């Protein structure tokens, strides 16, 4: 299929963005589905986020993925935030419905779907999440309501405790934050049913 005057545009924004695999991945999917869309990447300078959001409306960009460092600070510029993204405090996907921009968090819903699709039962289970960054936040909010117990273990202990507090305040779970150490892991690993690694460890060199 060729790009024509009618082709719809999707994009990812970030800073930097050159490393992103999203255009390759999404264009392959669009081609496979025979959809008249093209997916491109925009590197948005740090002080130009507001102008970029106006640009989405102006150029009728139908869908926007948001990556580092804009997942949190894009929120004030959007017209609506869905409840899960609001709880997490981060948006990674924006839907443009006739110049009305709706922020969502598919890091969260996607991670939960991947677990369910793999046959992982969540209801009544105990989970341990390694890491307390953006991905940990998204996954933990997505699955916390189904779980019986949730532990967050992080290299920087105070971030684990902060995320656990946030989860405890905003959801039905009483989450526990811990320092990630060999001893913590040894103690917890036999007690939990599900282990989720949200740190970049293990990704190198294919980050
Ligand atoms: N949809 C997706 O597939 C998706 C979405 C988002 C992210 N990701 C991937 O998930 C990973 C994490 O992303 P993020 O956005 O959560 O990053 P982030 O906010 O920077 O958080 C990184 C987390 O990993 C921990 N960490 C980093 N290096 C570590 C090390 N050497 N030893 C122990 N802990 C370490 C950090 O601990 P400290 O707090 O101590 O620094 C922090 O908890 C990345 O690989 C990213 O590409 C995937």
Q: Per residue in 150-164, pLDDT tens?
A: 999 999 999 999 999
Atom number, ligand 1, closest to the C-alpha of residue 137: 16
Tell me which of 51, 57, 62, 71 is the catalytic residue. 71
Pocket probe for ligand 1: among 21, 199, 202, the residue whose CB has the most ligand atoms within 8 Å is 199
- Rounded to whole angstroms, the Cα distance separating 90 from 108 reads 10
**pLDDT 10s digits, 35-79:** 999 999 999 998 999 999 999 999 999 999 999 999 999 999 999
Give the residue from 134, 142, 83, 81 showing the smallest Cα distance to 110.
142
Residue 137 is among the residues annotated as catalytic for this protein: no
**Cα 98 to ligand 1 centroid, rounded to whole Å:** 34
The pLDDT of residue 111 is above 70:
yes
Write out the H or E segment, with its range, that includes residue 86. helix 83-88
Question: Which CATH class, in words, describes the domain spanning 108-197?
Answer: alpha beta
* Band of pLDDT at residue 190, cut at 50, 70 and 90: very high
Residues having CB closer than 6 A to ligand 1 are 107, 110, 131-136, 154-156, 159, 198-201, 203
Q: Do domains 8-104 and 108-197 have the same CATH topology?
A: yes
* Band of pLDDT at residue 205, cut at 50, 70 and 90: low
**Cα 142 to ligand 1 centroid, rounded to whole Å:** 17
C-beta separation of 36 from 5 below 8 A: no
Residue-level pLDDT at 204 = 65
What mean pLDDT comes out for the span 8-29?
Answer: 97
- Rounded to whole angstroms, the Cα distance separating 24 from 55 reads 23
* Band of pLDDT at residue 102, cut at 50, 70 and 90: very high
- Judged by phi (left if over 0) then psi (alpha if -120 to 50, else beta), residue 26 lies in alpha
* Sequence spans of domains, the chain: 8-104, 108-197
The pLDDT of residue 90 is above 70:
yes
Per CATH, which fold does 8-104 belong to? Rossmann fold (3.40.50)
Atom number, ligand 1, closest to the C-alpha of residue 200: 45
What mean pLDDT comes out for the span 144-150?
Answer: 95
The pLDDT of residue 206 is above 80:
no
Atom number, ligand 1, closest to the C-alpha of residue 132: 43
């Amino acid at each position: 299929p060729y790009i024509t005057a009618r082709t719809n545009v999707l994009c990812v924004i970030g800073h930097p963005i050159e490393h992103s695999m999203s255009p390759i991945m999404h264009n392959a999917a669009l081609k496979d589905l025979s959809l008249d869309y093209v997916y491109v990447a925009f590197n948005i300078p740090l002080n130009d986020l507001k102008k970029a959001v106006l640009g989405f409306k102006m150029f009728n960009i139908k869908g926007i993925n948001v990556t580092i460092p804009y997942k949190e600070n894009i929120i004030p510029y959007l017209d609506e935030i869905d409840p899960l993204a609001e709880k997490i405090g981060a948006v990674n996907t924006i839907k443009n419905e006739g110049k009305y921009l709706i922020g969502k968090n598919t890091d969260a819903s996607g991670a939960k779907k991947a677990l369910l699709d793999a046959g992982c039962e969540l209801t009544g289970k105990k989970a341990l999440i390694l890491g307390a960054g953006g991905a940990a936040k998204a996954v933990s909010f997505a699955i916390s309501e189904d779980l019986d117990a949730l532990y967050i273990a992080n290299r920087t202990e105070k971030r684990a405790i902060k995320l656990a507090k946030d989860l405890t305040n905003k959801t039905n779970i009483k989450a526990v934050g811990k320092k990630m150490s060999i001893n913590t892991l040894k103690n917890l690993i036999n007690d939990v049913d599900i282990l989720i690694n949200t740190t970049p460890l293990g990704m190198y060199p294919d980050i």
